[in-house]
Amino acid sequence: MKISFKIVAAMVTAVFLTGCTMTPEECDPRHDVNVFNKLGCAVSGSYSKRVEMKKEKVDEAIAQRKALAAKMQEIENNRAELIKNRGERIRVLDDYKARLADLRAELEKKNQLNASLKQKLDELEKKAEAAKDPDNSKSTMEKNQLLNELQQEEDELLDAFSDADLD
């Protein structure tokens, strides 16, 4: 019986020593381990340590997920605000472009009017030069009538200039 007691004592000592050397990573139930390792994992508390480590990782993942969800919500709120601001900027720019187009159209209209008035002024100057010509064989009455026509055209041209300035 002494031999069997020594054998049993040696085996128990080996099991305890095996159990003391087991780490939580070695006690992964997904891997096939022998009976001594399983017993060592159970005796050393490595299974419970592994479960605690996994629970901590799960808790960390949950906390990280909540933080990411909060950040995502914040980003969505900022995105909505940016879209709103962008839409407002686009509306303001469209209004600005419309005002510029109106100004350009008005400028073109004034340029056409100015060109027309310049042409009338050039014609009036030519008529005045022609009336001044001493070689002109027209009678005094015709010259007076021409002078009256020139003054009337000058008045019309001045009225047109003043109307163009008021616009």
**pLDDT per position as a tens digit, 107-139:** 898 888 888 888 888 888 887 777 776 666 667
Q: Is residue 2 part of a domain?
A: no
Burial group, residue 80, by CB count within 10 angstroms (0-12, 13-18, 19+): exposed
Q: Is residue 1 part of a domain?
A: no
Question: 164 is written with which tokens?
Answer: 């163009």
Q: Which residues contact 124 (CB under 8 A, 6 or more apart)?
A: 150, 153, 154, 157
**pLDDT per position as a tens digit, 19-48:** 555 666 666 666 666 666 666 667 667 777
Question: 127 is written with which tokens?
Answer: 């008529």
Q: Is residue 3 part of a domain?
A: no
- Count of domains observed in the chain: 2
When pLDDT is cut at 50, 70 and 90, the band that residue 67 belongs to is very high
34 and 114 co-located in one domain: no
The whole model's pTM is what?
Answer: 0.42
pLDDT the model gives residue 157: 78
Q: Which residues contact 28 (CB under 8 A, 6 or more apart)?
A: 50
Q: Is residue 4 part of a domain?
A: no
- For residue 122, the enclosing domain spans 45-166
